[in-house]
Amino acid sequence: MIRFITRNVIVPVLPDIAWEYVGDFDALTSWHPGVPPVEMENNADPTGIGSVRTFS
């Protein structure tokens, strides 16, 4: 059985400010405690197409 959990939170800031944090995929570990550290495979450019990340 597939299960889903959804949680909504209202963040009291302007959208542009929120996107400064959540829009940078590589910065997730700096603001979300549940995300493990991320490393780029083969020192790839994190903005490049096909870049592979490994969560440790």
Q: Is pLDDT of 34 > 90?
A: no
Q: Is pLDDT of 12 > 90?
A: yes
Q: Is pLDDT of 6 > 80?
A: yes
**pLDDT score at 25:** 77
**pLDDT score at 13:** 94
Q: What are phi and psi of 29, to 5 degrees?
A: -65, -20
What DSSP letter does each residue of the chain carry, written as one string? ------------S-HHHHHHHHT-GGGHHHH-TTSPPEEEGGG--TTSTT--EEE-
* pLDDT tens for each residue of 37-51: 888 899 888 888 888
Q: Which residue has the higher pLDDT, 26 or 15?
A: 15
